[in-house]
């Protein structure tokens, strides 16, 4: 039984020209189908303006007088016979004085007439006529009033050099302008014209609160990709928000200092060209600065003032299929009214539940009455009406519907779940269908061809009616008895038990989110995010949809996701500062999954959360409020490892190197990839500069080292260059890769942190001979150019590899000596007072001397000339060669009868051979000490 009804407030008899309004609507309805969209009502409901579009242009006004006898001699605002230029719109201007309503009639040629209504005097009185536009050739296409501003979109006049009308450049010949105004007693003062936006397509400007929404032309599909977006402009904060009807979050937020639309969205054009956003069929401003949108897909959406586009309700009828039918929508506190044709839908904005559907006898127009904001008001051909309670006559529809038991708390989850089954089935079948016909829930229910959603809905309905415990008891009692169909249905129900429980619990969570307070909602979100993160990380493999879902969790709930990740990975900070994890290998396998192809973007600028680990609910709220992308680059799914690096950096920046170390340990332990320390194995990496993107630097897309992926995240996050470089150095050192270590060493030397340089050299020279040689060679070249390393020379000389010779060192020094034209770096002032000078060095000189190298050369020479047992007999050899052995005649071989003699002959022969070899070797002069 219907709980609401229409109550007639007026039959236009108490309005001037009331009898003409029905005739005007009927005549224009026959000639122009959307004639109701040309009717404007004042906020107090006392004035009705009808804009005549054709064949005769003009304006007809109906006024309601508090004292009807005064209406006989008042002046009417009738501009049918005196105007030939089409009227764009009628604006009701706000002003401080309460001397009557003020309206502005704006024409296409830029003229604006300001009228004032005074009931006790002459009715409507013309205050003044002004030119809004600077150019007389400009054409106004839409206009609105926001606070003390008049804002309009005008079409620039084409010039001789303008390209053809069909070219995309000609579609961007519009601009959005603004002028300040102030209504005084006898006139309206206007400020100068300011261009807010130019090089834009045709926009419809809509005022809502302190925001102005710029919507693309709804009469035709945009021909350029830049017209696929719409903008929300805040004149107070001087900022723009770029959004699209197919995305729930803004594409970009930026300052309004740049007025060229092409420059504002230059980094979104390529992304917009790939989108096919639904068209906007109807719109209506809300009192809180938002905007109601009805898309051609049938979805009623609410654009909130923060830029979030929320889907509220989907009409059964496809709006694109019935294009041209009158559509009107308006918001009344927490109820959305949609008048589609002759059907009035009342929808709860909080949960999207249709509260009531009323069938009207005629088409009409929804409007808002300032005195009764909670009741839907309609203008029909027969008069003005309001939606009231059928029993009590109350006009507060929200309270009436809640008292009648249709509140959010009393909605049974079964009905919603059954509808959700059919909606999900529509999406599934639509993807598999080759037909272009749009499937609807009604088609699935009535067609009879799709039995799966019907069966599943029946099972779900039965499950909800009996309950899981009762169903289990019935299964135990039935056992194997019953017909085959009953047994099959019980088997099916048993196999779906887990998923049915999940569906029911999900619906319960939705209900708790709608009913709960702010703290309860935060607690539910905390629990949900923790469960979802644990579920996703425990999956054997994440597909694109799951990865995109995890990214959305990170962007919306950064604080909750950080704590959920800590719980899923079981992270613990040990006493020595390292991190440990108790997570199973499958979780780490998901975390360390490859970053994807080299072409996939992995670096994005986010500023979610803050660099603190805050467990308080208030801290989470603040972190989530600031967790907005600073750039509206095309959204791409970050891999799991990159997401965790984001979280670690924002909430515990000092953990980032330790987290990388832990991840590399898990990677080596579980055999995901090898992190060998050989120089040759990583020679493909860049040693002079790091390309912070997956797949560059020689590695394939699936084999990008973890430290490079962490560096990629870091390079797009921290605006503080010094802190970012410190973290980059630590990440490179933690990686253990030779080229990364050398790069970190060079970065430390560039920052002149010599003590840290020597610590790194001393630590990593012990790991590999090749790395030891590279580090020593690098430091020796640095010593050649300046004297800042003098206090650490003893330590550096101790790192000299054994394979280096004096010749190699001297050649290296001579090769890297700075030329006389190259200015050498000055000696550090801090060192000049505290550091003792090396021998033979001038106190004001930064050049390398032999005295600086003497300890190194002496050490190497001592190592080269160290006595060896191999050459010990050289020191005792005679000055002359030994005499040749005596020659004996050849003797036939004989048998060895005397072993001692045979052994003596062999020993003599060996000694002679050894003597000859020693003499030959002694011919090479040993090196002498030149110092």
Q: What is the pLDDT of residue 291?
A: 93
Q: Which residue has the higher pLDDT, 670 or 346?
A: 346
Judged against a pLDDT cut of 80, whether residue 558 lies above it is answered with: yes
DSSP type of residue 62? E
How far apart (Å, rounded) are the C-alpha atoms in residues 645 and 660? 9
Q: Is 450 in contact with 444 (CB distance < 8 Å)?
A: yes
Judged against a pLDDT cut of 70, whether residue 908 lies above it is answered with: no
- Lowest mean pLDDT of 153-162, 384-393, 584-593, name the range: 153-162
Mean pLDDT of 907-928: 38
Cα 336 versus chain centre, distance: 30
DSSP type of residue 839? T
Tokens 């604080």 appear where?
559
Q: What is the pLDDT of residue 900?
A: 41
- Lowest mean pLDDT of 109-118, 432-441, 516-525, name the range: 432-441
Judged against a pLDDT cut of 80, whether residue 515 lies above it is answered with: no
* CA distance to 749, 763, 789, 916, per residue, from 758 (Å): 10, 8, 9, 50
Q: What is the pLDDT of residue 106?
A: 94
Q: Is 335 in contact with 402 (CB distance < 8 Å)?
A: no
CA atoms within 13 A on the CB side of 730: 16
Q: Is 747 in contact with 781 (CB distance < 8 Å)?
A: no
pLDDT band at 223 (very low <50, low <70, confident <90, very high): low
DSSP type of residue 137? T
Share of the chain above pLDDT 70, in %: 68
pLDDT band at 413 (very low <50, low <70, confident <90, very high): low
Q: Which residue has the higher pLDDT, 346 or 513?
A: 346
Residues counted in the chain: 931
User: DSSP letter string over 679-730?
Assistant: TTTTTTS-SS----STT-TT--GGG--HHHHHHHHHHTT---HHHHHHHHHH
Which of 306-320, 673-687, 777-791 is predicted most confidently?
777-791
Which of 415-419, 716-720, 769-773, 786-790 is predicted most confidently?
769-773
pLDDT in tens, 86-121: 999 999 987 766 567 889 999 999 999 998 887 776
Q: What is the pLDDT of residue 330?
A: 92
Judged against a pLDDT cut of 50, whether residue 881 lies above it is answered with: yes
| Orientation angle between helical segments 754-764 and 738-750, nearest 10 degrees | 160
Element (H, E) at 130: strand 123-131
Judged against a pLDDT cut of 70, whether residue 732 lies above it is answered with: yes
- Lowest mean pLDDT of 221-230, 341-350, 768-777, 799-808, name the range: 221-230
- Lowest mean pLDDT of 83-92, 415-424, 641-650, name the range: 415-424
pLDDT in tens, 1-51: 467 888 888 888 888 777 777 777 666 555 544 567 888 988 888 888 888
Instruction: Say which residues have a Cβ less than 8 Å from residue 565's Cβ, sequence separation at least 6.
Output: 533, 537, 571, 644, 647
Q: What is the pLDDT of residue 456?
A: 74
Tokens 């003020």 appear where?
102
Q: What is the pLDDT of residue 292?
A: 94
Q: Which residue has the higher pLDDT, 870 or 887?
A: 887
How far apart (Å, rounded) are the C-alpha atoms in residues 777 and 754? 16
Judged against a pLDDT cut of 60, whether residue 700 lies above it is answered with: no
DSSP type of residue 601? -
How far apart (Å, rounded) are the C-alpha atoms in residues 213 and 243? 10
Q: What is the pLDDT of residue 607?
A: 35
pTM of the model: 0.51
Q: What is the pLDDT of residue 629?
A: 40
- Lowest mean pLDDT of 41-55, 101-115, 214-228, 772-786, name the range: 214-228
Mean pLDDT of 249-266: 82
Q: Is 463 in contact with 507 (CB distance < 8 Å)?
A: no
- Lowest mean pLDDT of 350-364, 535-549, 858-872, name the range: 858-872
* CA distance to 625, 680, 731, per residue, from 605 (Å): 16, 34, 19
Q: What is the pLDDT of residue 462?
A: 75
Q: Is the dihedral of CA 796, 801, 806, 811 positive or negative?
A: negative
Query: Which residues on adjacent β-strands are paired with residue 506?
Result: none
Judged against a pLDDT cut of 80, whether residue 799 lies above it is answered with: yes
Q: What is the pLDDT of residue 487?
A: 55
Judged against a pLDDT cut of 70, whether residue 484 lies above it is answered with: no
| Mean pLDDT over each residue of the chain, to the nearest integer | 74
Query: Within 10 A of 525 (CB to CB), how many other CB atoms are there?
Result: 19
pLDDT band at 170 (very low <50, low <70, confident <90, very high): low
Q: What is the pLDDT of residue 97?
A: 62
Q: What is the pLDDT of residue 837?
A: 40
Q: What is the pLDDT of residue 930?
A: 39
Which of 7-21, 37-51, 66-80, 155-169 is predicted most confidently?
37-51
Q: Is the dihedral of CA 313, 319, 321, 327 positive or negative?
A: positive
Query: Within 10 A of 464 (CB to CB), how many other CB atoms are there?
Result: 19
Q: What is the pLDDT of residue 119?
A: 72
Judged against a pLDDT cut of 60, whether residue 831 lies above it is answered with: no
Ranges of beta strands (E only) in 278-349 are: 280-285, 291-295, 299-303, 309-314, 327-332, 335-340, 343-348
Q: Which residue has the higher pLDDT, 56 or 331?
A: 331
Q: Which residue has the higher pLDDT, 671 or 754?
A: 754
pLDDT band at 563 (very low <50, low <70, confident <90, very high): very high
Q: What is the pLDDT of residue 112?
A: 93
Q: What is the pLDDT of residue 192?
A: 92
**Tokens linked to 423:** 């909606």
pLDDT in tens, 733-760: 888 888 999 999 999 898 888 888 888 8
Instruction: Say which residues have a Cβ less than 8 Å from residue 333's Cβ, sequence separation at least 6.
Output: 373, 374, 398
Q: Which residue has the higher pLDDT, 504 or 305?
A: 305
Share of the chain above pLDDT 90, in %: 12
Q: What is the pLDDT of residue 614?
A: 39
């Amino acid at each position: 039984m219907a709980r609401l009804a229409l109550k007639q407030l007026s039959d236009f008899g108490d309005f001037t020209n009331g009898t003409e309004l029905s005739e005007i609507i009927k005549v224009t309805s026959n000639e122009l189908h959307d004639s109701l969209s040309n009717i404007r009502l004042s906020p107090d409901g006392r004035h009705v303006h009808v804009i005549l579009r054709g064949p005769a242009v003009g304006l007809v006004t109906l006024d309601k007088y508090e004292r009807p006898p005064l209406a006989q001699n008042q002046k009417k605002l009738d501009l049918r016979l005196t105007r030939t230029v089409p009227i764009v719109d009628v604006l009701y201007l706000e002003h401080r004085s309460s001397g009557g309503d003020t309206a502005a009639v704006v024409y296409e040629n830029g003229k604006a007439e300001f009228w004032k209504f005074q009931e006790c005097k002459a009715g409507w009185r013309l205050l003044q006529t002004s030119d809004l536009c600077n150019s007389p050739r400009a054409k106004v296409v839409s206009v609105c009033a926001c606070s003390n501003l008049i804002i309009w979109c005008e079409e620039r006049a084409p010039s001789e050099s303008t390209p053809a009308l069909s070219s995309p450049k000609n579609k961007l010949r519009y601009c959005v302008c603004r002028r300040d105004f102030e209504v005084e007693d006898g006139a309206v003062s206007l400020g100068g014209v300011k261009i807010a936006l130019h090089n834009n397509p045709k926009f419809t400007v809509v005022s809502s609160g302190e925001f102005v929404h710029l919507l693309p032309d709804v009469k035709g599909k945009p021909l350029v990709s830049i017209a696929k977006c719409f903008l929300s402009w805040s004149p107070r904060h001087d900022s723009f928000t770029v959004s699209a009807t197919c995305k729930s979050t803004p594409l970009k937020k930026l300052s309004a200092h740049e007025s060229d639309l092409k420059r504002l969205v230059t980094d979104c054009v390529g992304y917009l060209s790939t989108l096919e956003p639904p068209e906007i069929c109807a719109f209506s401003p809300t009192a809180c600065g938002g905007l109601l949108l009805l898309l051609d897909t049938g979805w009623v959406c609410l654009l909130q003032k923060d830029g979030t586009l929320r889907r509220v309700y989907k009409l059964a009828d496809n709006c694109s299929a019935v294009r041209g039918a009158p559509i009107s929508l308006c918001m009344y506190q927490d109820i959305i009214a949609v008048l589609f044709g002759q059907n009035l839908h009342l929808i709860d904005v909080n949960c999207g539940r249709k509260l009531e559907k009323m069938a009207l006898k005629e088409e009409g127009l929804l409007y808002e009455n300032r005195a009764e904001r909670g009741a839907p008001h309609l203008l029909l051909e027969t008069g003005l009406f309001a939606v009231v309670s059928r029993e009590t006559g109350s006009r507060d529809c929200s309270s009436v519907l809640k008292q009648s038991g249709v509140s959010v708390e009393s909605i049974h989850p079964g009905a919603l779940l059954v509808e959700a089954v059919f909606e999900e089935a529509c999406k599934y079948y639509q993807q598999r269908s080759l037909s272009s016909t749009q499937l609807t829930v009604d088609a699935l229910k009535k067609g009879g061809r799709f039995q799966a959603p019907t069966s599943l809905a029946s099972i779900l309905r039965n499950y909800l009616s009996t309950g899981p415990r009762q169903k289990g008891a019935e299964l135990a009692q039935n056992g194997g008895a019953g017909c085959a169909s009953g047994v099959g249905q019980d088997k099916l129900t048993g196999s779906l038990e887990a998923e049915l429980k999940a569906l029911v619990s999900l619906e319960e969570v939705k209900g708790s989110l709608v009913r709960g307070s702010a703290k309860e909602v935060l607690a539910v979100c905390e629990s949900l995010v923790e469960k979802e993160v644990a579920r996703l990380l425990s999956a054997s493999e994440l597909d694109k949809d799951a990865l995109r879902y995890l990214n959305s969790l990170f962007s919306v709930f950064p604080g909750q996701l950080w704590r959920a990740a800590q719980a899923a990975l079981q992270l613990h900070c040990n006493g020595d500062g390292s991190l440990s994890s108790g997570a199973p290998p499958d979780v780490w396998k998901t975390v360390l999954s490859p970053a994807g192809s080299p072409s996939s973007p992995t670096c994005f600028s986010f500023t979610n959360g803050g660099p603190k680990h805050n467990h308080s609910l208030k801290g989470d709220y603040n972190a989530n409020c600031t967790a907005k992308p600073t750039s509206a680059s095309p959204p791409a799914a970050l891999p799991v490892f990159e997401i965790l690096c984001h979280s670690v950096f924002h909430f515990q920046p000092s953990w980032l190197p330790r987290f990388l170390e832990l991840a590399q340990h898990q990677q080596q332990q579980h055999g995901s990839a090898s992190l060998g320390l050989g120089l040759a194995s990583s020679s493909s990496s860049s040693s002079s500069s790091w390309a912070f993107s997956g797949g560059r630097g020689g590695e394939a897309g699936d084999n990008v080292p973890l430290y490079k992926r962490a560096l990629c995240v870091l390079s797009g996050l921290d605006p503080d260059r010094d802190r970012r470089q410190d973290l980059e150095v630590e990440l490179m050192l933690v990686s253990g890769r030779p080229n990364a270590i050398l790069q970190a060493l060079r970065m430390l030397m560039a920052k002149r942190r010599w003590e840290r340089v020597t610590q790194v050299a001393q630590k990593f020279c012990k790991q590999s001979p090749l790395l030891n040689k590279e580090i020593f060679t690098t430091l020796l070249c640095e010593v050649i150019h300046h004297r800042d390393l003098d206090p650490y020379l003893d330590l550096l000389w101790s790192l000299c590899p054994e394979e280096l010779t004096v010749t190699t060192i001297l050649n290296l020094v001579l090769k890297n000596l700075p030329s006389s034209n190259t200015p050498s770096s000055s000696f550090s002032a801090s060192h000049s007072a505290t550091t003792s000078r090396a021998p033979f060095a001038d106190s004001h000189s930064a050049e390398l001397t032999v005295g600086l190298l003497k300890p190194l050369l002496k050490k190497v020479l001592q190592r080269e000339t160290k006595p060896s047992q191999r050459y010990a007999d050289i020191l005792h050899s005679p000055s002359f060669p030994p005499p040749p052995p005596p020659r004996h005649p050849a003797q036939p071989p004989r048998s060895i009868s005397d072993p001692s003699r045979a052994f003596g002959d062999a020993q003599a022969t060996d000694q002679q051979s050894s003597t000859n070899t020693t003499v030959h070797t002694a011919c090479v002069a040993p090196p002498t000490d030149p110092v």
